[in-house]
């Protein structure tokens, strides 16, 4: 490992690092704009100049690999002068917009100008002005502010895999944009807002809403998909103003999808802020007591096998645990957390987890994707597969829909026929899996949420076993869920003990379940506990207003089986309460008081029942076991459950921004604007 | 011509003719398999030559798709180089060098003569679409300054008279003499060779 001297201190670093990285390891902060650790090196902003012994002039540290015996000075007269010069050039064409710029207060250029800028300008000539670009409903542009760091271009090309941004023209006339006016066709486009070191790319929905120092920042977990991206929720008063990513190398790196980032305006619309009870066919505002009384009357009259509950896609573990305990105490085991009817759970835990882990994708050398469109079902996970694709040879096969996944793959077929061929080893992709050291299979909801889902799961398990995906240190069997609540629900055993039909029930308790066919509930008395007036609330006879994922401390288990906890960023609206507390209060009303009085009590009982929920931010490898069936698979192509990426849950369906995105993507036509995506 | 200026219609479609396609394939064949994108510059040039001297967006898209590369990269290449014209251009593209050596040798007068003769300003085109006048950076013929380039031909050692006569000939559909406009062979010294005389004629 090379040893170099940085400001008089000797340090040994890994070979292949850059001088800038070595300086950061040595605790020396180097100012920079274009350098970003997750993007390729561009070396064009020149802000990271340092002095190197025996070099005739300052070097750009971000582009200089470390060498043995280098002597680096990061803070000398020359270095400061060089950086002052660079800063002066950067500011020549940069407008004095700070007072009206949304980046103000969190702007790299502003911060570094404090250190290296000159307090007045020597530039008397005309400044350049650049026409703003239209990048769609999410990203607002003020291109005159652009300093040409090309981070956004590199992100779009490398990470997002949509090479639509570029620099046209040259010199004075260079402009960053798409050249042809169009919105970025990426589900990750919002990340260029974070990457932009100046105010050229800012958030359109958040424009002129707040200054960063006014915001309360709460570190939390996303519940828009099953990835469990680490997020920071920025609130002012009761309002969630924006959501930005937090770094977690094993989960989302530092990216989040556009839905995670921009659906938060849905938290302000269509909210259930007080209980409702249906009287004379109409939902009427009611008090909590009235609502509980109405439930109590029905529930006490119903026989225990006619009571059922369904947990929705954003239900948290605590409330599912409480609901399960409540139903059990009422003598019913008619509970389910699989709104889409996916044939999973019940068997081994390995049968419904993303066992390879998200970071493990980078170790895979053959990937078979079955019945999933990861680009829509989990864009950040898809970016991980693309990252693997860019790292070197990997064979990727897809059985399902033939869509642009941002990387090249072999299209094997549309449905179970092809899967059967791979399973019996006659397909040539089976050989690729056999040859691979770390093969993996990703089974999506498109393959599992159908009547032959168990058979497909069984076929996938056979492939995993036959092609050597299951070894002591590698498990290549993966299920890609679309719901944040799913793995938590399955871990808790939120499953029916015997098959039942919701249509036969007298009382149905919907815990934020909106994506089922409400017609199927028949004449049942429906209790809806949730935060948005969506499909479930419309059907309900009693509405109990709950909390959204930003409004409670709750446990979510991501698709790897990693338990993570959200934090309360703002309080539930109006009379709404945290979900576990509603269930606890209702249980007392029903005379079946649940044995916990606080969230801590509930958690200790829940963790006692399901220990994996207590190991926060840890992935416990699941033991391989029996799951799936050996029945014959039906025919019919695998279709991804997500038709409209931007609208998949009550929050995103209530979001005006997501509606704008849908319109922009469809070019104004309503052909694909199904809200039941 | 890095930016699109003015209002003009972009054709909706573009495709190489079969002869141009043959040339394009020859260019693509120069590069290793999988590196076909390297042929983007000659192909954009072929497209420009086929399309009346300018590159419509459809042509950039066509070349990018043909080479299996992102369209954005073709835009980047086409807008970076001044030799790709992104707006309609006259049949004769008069490009006068005004860099230092040419300027010292009187390029201002050449520019004036061209403006006078064509009746247009720098950057403009004649109404009949025959001429476009542009100012160029160094075209690398400093020894024969001042000079101008019209389409693919260099006209060197210019003065006002020779400039006007070249343009007039072009107006009448004639092909003016290319290269040096004075009694001088390429870039040999004016007034004959001064050194290596014994080698004269041997090459």
Give yes or no for residue B61 having a pLDDT over 80.
yes
Contact A169 B57 (CB under 8 A): no
Q: Which of B2, B3, B76 sits opposite A166 (nearest CB)?
A: B76
For the cut 50, the answer to whether the pLDDT of residue A676 exceeds it is no
Partner-chain contact B72 A170, CB within 8 Å: no
Distances (CA, A) of A666 to A189, A258, A645, A663, B157: 17, 16, 12, 5, 60
For the segment A432-439, the average pLDDT, to the nearest whole number, is 94
Q: Do A163 and B73 touch (CB under 8 A)?
A: yes
Of residues B3, B57, B71, nearest to A169 (C-beta): B3
Residue for token pair 């605590």? A318
% of chain A beyond a pLDDT of 90? 91
Nearest neighbour of A173 by CB, restricted to B2, B73, B75: B2
Q: Which residues contact A465 (CB under 8 A, 6 or more apart)?
A: none
- Looking at the predicted structure, is the pLDDT value of residue A168 above 80? yes
Residues B17-55: tens digit of each pLDDT: 999 999 999 999 999 999 999 999 999 999 999 999 999
A163 and B57 within 8 Å at the Cβ level: the answer is: no
Q: Is the pLDDT of residue B196 over 90?
A: no
- Per-residue pLDDT for B2 more than 70? no
A668 pLDDT higher than 80: no
Domain ranges of chain B: 2-80, 92-180
Are A313 and A486 in contact by the 8 Å Cβ rule? The answer is yes
From B57, B75, B80, residue closest to A170, measured CB to CB: B80
- Given this model, what pLDDT does residue B103 score? 96
Examine the pLDDT at B3 and tell me if it is beyond 50. no
How far A408 CA lies from chain B's nearest CA (Å)? 13
Query: Do residue A165 and residue B72 have CB atoms under 8 angstroms apart?
Result: yes
How many inter-chain contacts (A to B, CB under 8 Å) are there? Answer: 35
CB contact under 8 A, A164 and B72: yes
CB contact under 8 A, B2 and A169: yes
- Cα A89 to Cα A98: distance, rounded to the nearest angstrom: 17
Query: DSSP string spanning A462-509?
Result: HHHHHTT-EETTEE-EEEE-S-TTHHHHHHHT-S-SS---GGG-SEEE
- A130 interaction partners in chain B (CB closer than 8 Å): none
Reported as a pLDDT band with limits 50, 70 and 90, residue A120 is confident
In order of A12, A79, A409, A619, B7, the CA distances from A90 in angstroms are 34, 16, 42, 46, 33
Instruction: Say if the Cβ atoms of B79 and A179 lie within 8 Å.
Output: yes
Which residue among B2, B3, B72 places its CB closest to the CB of A163?
Answer: B72
Residue A176 φ then ψ, to 5°: -95, 130
User: Are the beta carbons of A168 and B70 separated by less than 8 Å?
Assistant: no
Counting beta carbons within 10 angstroms of the beta carbon of residue B201, is it exposed (0 to 12), middle (13 to 18) or buried (19 or more)?
Answer: exposed
Q: Parallel, antiparallel, or unpaired: how do β-strands A470-471 and A239-245 relate?
A: unpaired
Contacts 24+ apart (CB under 8 A), A35-42: A35/A62, A36/A151, A36/A154, A36/A195, A38/A159, A38/A253, A38/A254, A39/A151, A39/A154, A39/A155, A39/A158, A39/A159, A39/A195, A40/A154, A40/A158, A42/A149, A42/A150, A42/A151, A42/A154
User: What's the pLDDT at A670?
Assistant: 45
pLDDT tops 90 at residue B8: no
| Residue B69 C-alpha, separation from nearest chain A C-alpha, in angstroms | 9
Which of chain A's residues have a Cβ under 8 Å away from the Cβ of B80? 168-170
Q: Report chain B residues whose CB lies below 8 A from the CB of A128.
A: none
Average pLDDT score over residue span A28-34:
95
Three-class DSSP category at A214: helix
pLDDT at A672 over 90: no
Q: Tens digits of per-residue pLDDT, A200-221?
A: 999 999 999 999 999 999 999 9
pLDDT one-digit tens code per residue, A547-566: 999 999 999 999 999 999 99
A5 backbone dihedrals φ, ψ, rounded to 5°: -105, 120
Residues of A with CB under 8 A from a CB of B: 157, 163-170, 173, 178-180
CA A162 to chain B, closest CA, distance in angstroms equals 9
Whether A669 shows a pLDDT value over 60: the answer reads no
What does the alpha-carbon distance between residue B116 and residue A488 come to, in Å, rounded to a whole number? 81
Average pLDDT, chain B: 92
Distance from CA of B174 to the nearest CA of A (A): 36
Query: In chain B, whose CA is at the least distance from the CA of A178?
Result: B72
For residue A181, the chain B residue with the least C-alpha distance is B72
Put simply, the answer to whether A164 touches B76 (Cβ < 8 Å) is: no
CATH number belonging to the domain at B2-80, selected among 2.60.120, 1.10.10, 3.30.700, 1.10.3470? 1.10.10
Residue B197 has what pLDDT? 82
pLDDT digits (tens, 9 = 90+) for A305-363: 999 999 999 999 999 999 999 999 999 999 999 999 898 887 899 999 999 999 999 99
Query: Which of A169, A179, A180 to mutate: most B Cβ within 10 Å?
Result: A179
Instruction: Give the pLDDT of residue B1.
Output: 42
Mean pLDDT of A390-399: 95
Would you state the pLDDT for residue A620?
A: 87
Instruction: Inspect the interface and report whether the beta carbons of A169 and B75 lie closer than 8 Å.
Output: no
Q: Which of A148, A166, A186 to mutate to test the interface with B (most CBs of B within 10 A)?
A: A166
Check CB contact under 8 Å for A168 and B73.
no
Q: What is the pLDDT of residue A665?
A: 86
Question: Taking CB atoms and an 8 Å cutoff, what residues of chain A touch B71?
Answer: 180
- A171: closest CA of chain B, how far (Å): 9
The pLDDT of residue B4 is 52
Q: Nearest Cβ partner of A167 from B70, B71, B76?
A: B76
pLDDT on residue A163 = 93
Residue of B nearest to A172 (CA): B2
Interface contact B75-A164, CB threshold 8 A: no
pLDDT score recorded for residue A675: 44
| Pairing label, strands A439-444, A366-370 | parallel
Distance from CA of A80 to the nearest CA of B (A): 33
* CATH number listed for the domain at residues B92-180: 3.40.30.10
3-class SS string, A54-94: CCCCCEEHHHCECCCCCEEECCCHHHHHHHHHHHHHHHHCC
Rounded to an integer, what distance in angstroms lies between the CA atom of residue A521 and that of residue A523?
A: 6
Can you tell me whether residue A123 is helix, strand or coil? coil
pLDDT band per the 50, 70, 90 thresholds, residue B6: low
Name chain B contacts of A179, Cβ cutoff 8 Å.
Answer: 72, 75, 79
Bridge partners, residue A477, by sequence: A441
In this prediction, residue B187 carries a pLDDT of 87
A149-164 per-position pLDDT tens digit: 999 999 999 999 999 9
Instruction: Please list every residue in chain A whose beta carbon sits closer than 8 Å to the beta carbon of residue B70.
Output: 157, 163-164, 166
* Cβ-Cβ contacts under 8 Å, A173 against chain B: 2-3
Q: What is the mean pLDDT of residues A232-251?
A: 96
DSSP SS3 for A189:
coil
Q: CB distance B3–A166 less than 8 Å?
A: no
Reported as a single tens digit per residue, the pLDDT across B135-155 is 999 999 999 999 999 999 999
Among A231, A239, A181, smallest CA distance to A215 is for A239
Q: Chain B: which residues have CB within 8 Å of chain A?
A: 2-3, 57, 70-73, 75-76, 79-80
């Amino acid at each position: 490992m090379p040893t170099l001297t940085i400001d008089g201190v000797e340090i040994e670093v890994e070979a292949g690092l850059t001088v800038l990285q070595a300086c950061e390891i040595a605790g020396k902060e180097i100012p920079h704009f274009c350098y970003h650790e997750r993007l390729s090196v561009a070396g064009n902003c020149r802000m990271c100049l340092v002095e190197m012994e025996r070099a005739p002039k300052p070097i750009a540290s971000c582009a200089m690999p470390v060498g043995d015996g280098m002597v680096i000075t990061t803070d000398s007269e020359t270095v400061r002068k060089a950086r002052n010069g660079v800063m002066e050039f950067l500011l020549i064409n940069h407008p004095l917009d700070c007072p009206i710029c949304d980046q103000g207060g969190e702007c790299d250029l502003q911060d570094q100008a404090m250190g290296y800028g000159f307090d007045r300008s020597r530039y008397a000539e005309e400044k350049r002005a650049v026409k703003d670009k239209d990048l769609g409903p999410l990203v607002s542009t003020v291109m005159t502010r652009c300093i040409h760091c090309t981070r956004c271009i590199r992100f779009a090309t490398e990470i997002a895999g949509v090479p639509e941004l570029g620099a046209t023209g040259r010199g004075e006339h260079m402009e960053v944009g798409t050249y042809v006016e169009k919105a970025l066709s990426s589900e990750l486009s919002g990340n260029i807002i974070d990457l932009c070191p100046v105010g050229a790319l800012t958030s359109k929905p958040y424009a002129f809403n707040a200054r960063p120092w006014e915001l309360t920042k709460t570190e939390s977990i996303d519940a828009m998909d099953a990835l469990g991206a680490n997020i920071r929720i920025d609130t002012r008063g009761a309002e969630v103003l924006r959501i930005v990513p937090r770094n977690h190398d094993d989960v989302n790196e530092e990216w989040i999808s556009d839905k995670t980032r921009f659906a938060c305006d849905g938290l302000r619309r269509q909210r259930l802020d007080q209980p409702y009870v249906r009287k004379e066919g109409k939902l009427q505002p009611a008090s909590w007591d009235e609502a509980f009384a109405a439930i109590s009357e029905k529930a006490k009259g119903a026989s225990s096998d006619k009571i059922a509950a369904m947990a929705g896609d954003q239900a948290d573990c605590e409330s599912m645990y409480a609901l399960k305990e409540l139903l059990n105490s009422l003598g019913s085991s008619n509970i389910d957390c699989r709104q889409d009817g996916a044939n999973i759970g019940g068997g081994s835990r390995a049968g419904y987890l993303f066992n390879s882990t998200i970071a493990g994708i980078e170790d895979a050398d053959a990937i078979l994707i079955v019945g999933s469109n990861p680009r829509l079902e989990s864009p950040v996970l898809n970016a991980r597969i693309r990252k693997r694709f860019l790292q070197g040879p990997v064979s990727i096969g897809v059985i399902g829909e033939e869509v642009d996944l941002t990387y090249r793959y072999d299209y094997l077929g549309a449905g179970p026929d092809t899967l059967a061929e791979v399973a019996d080893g006659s397909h040539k992709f089976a050989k690729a899996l056999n040859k691979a050291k770390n093969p993996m299979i990703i089974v999506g909801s498109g393959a599992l949420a159908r009547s032959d889902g168990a058979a497909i799961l069984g076929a996938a398990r056979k492939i995993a076993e036959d092609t050597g995906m299951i070894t002591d240190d590698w498990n290549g069997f993966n299920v890609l869920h679309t719901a944040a609540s799913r793995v938590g629900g399955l871990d808790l055993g939120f499953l029916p003990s015997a098959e039942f039909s919701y249509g036969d029930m007298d009382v149905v308790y919907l815990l934020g379940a909106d994506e089922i066919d409400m017609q199927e509930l028949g004449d049942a008395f429906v209790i809806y506990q949730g935060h948005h007036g969506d499909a479930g609330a419309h059907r309900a006879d009693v509405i109990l207003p709950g909390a959204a994922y930003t409004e409670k401390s709750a446990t979510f288990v991501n698709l790897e089986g990693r338990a993570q906890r959200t934090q309360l960023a703002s309080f539930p609206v109006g009379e709404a309460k945290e979900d576990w507390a509603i269930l606890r209060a209702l249980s007392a009303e029903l005379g079946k008081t649940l044995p916990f009085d606080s969230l801590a009590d509930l958690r200790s009982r829940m963790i006692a029942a399901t220990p994996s929920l207590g190991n926060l931010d840890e992935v416990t490898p699941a033991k391989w076991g029996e799951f799936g069936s050996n029945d014959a698979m039906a025919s019919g192509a695998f279709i991804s459950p997500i038709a409209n990426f931007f609208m998949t849950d009550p929050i995103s369906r209530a979001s005006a921004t997501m509606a704008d995105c849908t319109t922009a993507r469809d070019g104004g036509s309503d052909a694909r604007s199904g809200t039941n995506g | 011509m890095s930016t699109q200026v003015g209002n003009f219609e972009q054709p909706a479609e573009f495709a190489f003719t079969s002869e141009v396609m043959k040339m394009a394939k020859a260019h693509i064949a120069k590069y290793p398999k999988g590196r076909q994108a390297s042929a983007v510059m000659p192909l954009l040039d072929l497209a420009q030559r086929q399309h009346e001297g300018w590159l419509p967006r459809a042509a950039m898209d066509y070349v990018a798709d043909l080479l299996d590369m992102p369209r954005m990269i073709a835009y980047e290449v086409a807008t970076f180089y001044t030799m790709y014209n992104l707006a309609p251009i006259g049949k004769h593209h008069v490009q006068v060098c005004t860099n230092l050596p040419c300027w010292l040798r009187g390029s201002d007068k050449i520019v004036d003569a061209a403006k006078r003769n064509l009746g247009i300003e720098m950057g403009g085109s004649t109404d009949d679409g025959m001429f476009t006048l542009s100012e160029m950076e160094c075209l690398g013929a400093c020894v024969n300054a001042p000079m101008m380039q019209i389409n693919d031909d260099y006209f060197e050692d210019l003065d006002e008279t020779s400039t006007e006569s070249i343009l007039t000939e072009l107006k009448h559909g004639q092909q003016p003499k290319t290269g040096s406009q004075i009694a001088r062979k390429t870039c040999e010294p004016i007034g004959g060779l001064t050194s290596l005389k014994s080698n004269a004629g041997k090459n």
